[in-house]
Chain A
Amino acid sequence: MKKFRYTLLFAFAFSLLACEAEIDQYTPQAGDVDFSTYVALGTSLTAGFADNDLYRSAQINSYPNILAGQLSYVGLSGEFRQPLMLDELGFGNRLVLGISAGSLAPVPATGTPDQRNFASIAADGPFHNLGVPGALAAHLLFPGYGTLNPYYGRFASNPAESSIIAEAVALQPSFFSLWVGNNEILGYAVQGGVGTGITPPQEFQAYYSAILQQLVATAKGVVANIPDISSIPFFRTIPYDALALTQTQATMLNAAYAMAPHISFSAGANGFVVEDTAHPAGIRQLQAGELVLLTLPLDRVHNEGWGSSTPIPEQYYLSVDQVNNIQQAVESYNGIITSLAAQFELALVDVNQLLVDGERGIYFDALAFNTEFVTGGVFSLDGVHLSKRGNAIVANAFIEAINLTYRASIPKVAVGQYPGIIFP
Chain B
Amino acid sequence: MRNPIKITLLLIFLNYSALAGGYQVSLHGQRQAGMGLIGTSLFMDASAAFYNPGALALMPQQISILGGVSGIFSNVTYQMTYPSLYQAQTDNPIGTPFYLYAAAKITDRLVAGIAVNTPFGNGLKWEEGWAGRFLIQEISLRAITIQPTVSFRISDEISAGAGFVYTMGFVEMERTLPVEGVDGEGKVNISGNTANYGFNAGLQYAGRNGLNIGISYRSQIDMAVDDAEAIFSVPLSLSGMFPAENSVAVTLPLPANLDFGLSYQFSRELMLGIALNYVFWDAYQDLTFNFETNTPALTDSSNPREYSNTLIVRAGGEYKVNNSLYLRAGAYYDPSPVNRDYFSPETPSLNTLALSGGFSFLPNSQISIDASLLFLMGMEESVTYSPENFGGTYKSRVLIPGIGISYSL
Interface residues of A (CB under 8 A from B): 16-17, 19-23, 25-26, 28, 73, 97, 99, 104, 362-368, 370, 372, 375-377, 399, 403, 409-414, 416-417, 419-424
Contact = CB atoms under 8 A, between A and B. Distances in A.
Interface in B120-141: 129, 131-135
B322 interface: no
Given A365-B390, A375-B3, A412-B83, A19 B182 contact: no
A375 B1 contact: yes
A376 B5 CA distance: 10
Contacts of B135: 366
Contacts of A19: 73-75, 375, 397-399
B266 interface: no
Contacts of B180: 419-423
Contacts of A370: 3
Given A19-B74, A376-B3, A414 B181 contact: no
* Most chain B C-beta atoms within 10 Å of own C-beta, residue among A20, A414, A421: A414
A400 B32 CA distance: 51
B77 A411 contact: no
A16 B399 contact: yes
Given A99-B237, A403-B83, A366 B388 contact: yes
The list of the 10 closest CB pairs from A to B, nearest first, reads A363-B389, A375-B3, A423-B235, A366-B390, A420-B180, A19-B397, A21-B395, A366-B388, A21-B77, A21-B397
A389 to B, nearest CB: 10
Interface in B213-272: 234-238
Interface stretch (B38-46, B84-92, B276-284): B84-92
Contact of A363 (B132, B388, B397, B399): B388
B380 interface: yes
B375 A16 contact: yes
A399 B134 CA distance: 24
A26 B82 contact: yes
A1 B378 CA distance: 33
Contact of A411 (B84, B132, B378, B389): B84
Contacts of A377: 178
* Most chain A C-beta atoms within 10 Å of own C-beta, residue among B74, B178, B180, B234: B178
A28 B85 contact: yes
Nearest to B81: A412
Nearest to B76: A21
Nearest to B186: A423
Contact of B179 (A366, A376, A413, A420): A420
A422 B75 CA distance: 33
B385 to A, nearest CB: 7
B134 A367 contact: yes
Contact of B389 (A365, A410, A419, A424): A365
Given A417-B86, A423-B234, 5 more contacts: A16-B399, A25-B87, A363-B387, A365-B132, A420-B185
A377 B385 CA distance: 21
Given A372-B3, A420-B178, A423-B237, A366 B134 contact: yes
Interface in B81-105: 82-87, 89
Contacts of A412: 80, 83-84
A413 B80 CA distance: 9
Contacts of A375: 1-3, 5
B87 A424 contact: no
A411 B85 CA distance: 6
* Most chain B C-beta atoms within 10 Å of own C-beta, residue among A99, A366, A411: A366
A122 B234 CA distance: 43
Contact of B178 (A16, A28, A104, A368): A368
B391 to A, nearest CB: 9
A367 B178 CA distance: 7
B241 to A, nearest CB: 10
Contacts of A403: 83
Contacts of A99: 237
A105 B208 CA distance: 82
Interface in B50-95: 73-77, 79-80, 82-87, 89
Given A410-B83, A412-B84, A424-B237, A364 B389 contact: yes
Contacts of B87: 23, 25
A423 B182 CA distance: 7
A149 B86 CA distance: 39
A221 B216 CA distance: 66
A21 B378 contact: yes
B109 interface: no
Interface string B1-27: 111011000000000000000000000
A124 B134 CA distance: 40
Contacts of A25: 79, 85, 87
B237 A23 contact: no
Nearest to B344: A366
28 contacts: A19-B73, A19-B397, A19-B398, A20-B75, A20-B77, A20-B89, A21-B76, A25-B85, A26-B82, A26-B85, A365-B134, A366-B135, A367-B134, A368-B178, A375-B2, A375-B3, A403-B83, A409-B83, A411-B86, A412-B80, A413-B84, A416-B134, A417-B86, A420-B178, A423-B179, A423-B234, A423-B235, A424-B182
B395 A366 contact: no
A417 B131 contact: yes
B395 A23 contact: yes
B84 A424 contact: no
Nearest to A422: B180
Contacts of A409: 82-83
Nearest to A237: B2
A5 B179 CA distance: 54
B134 A23 contact: no
B393 interface: yes
A143 B378 CA distance: 62
B347 interface: no
A330 B129 CA distance: 39
Nearest to A410: B83
A409 B181 CA distance: 35
* Most chain A C-beta atoms within 10 Å of own C-beta, residue among B79, B86, B378, B380: B86
A370 B6 CA distance: 13
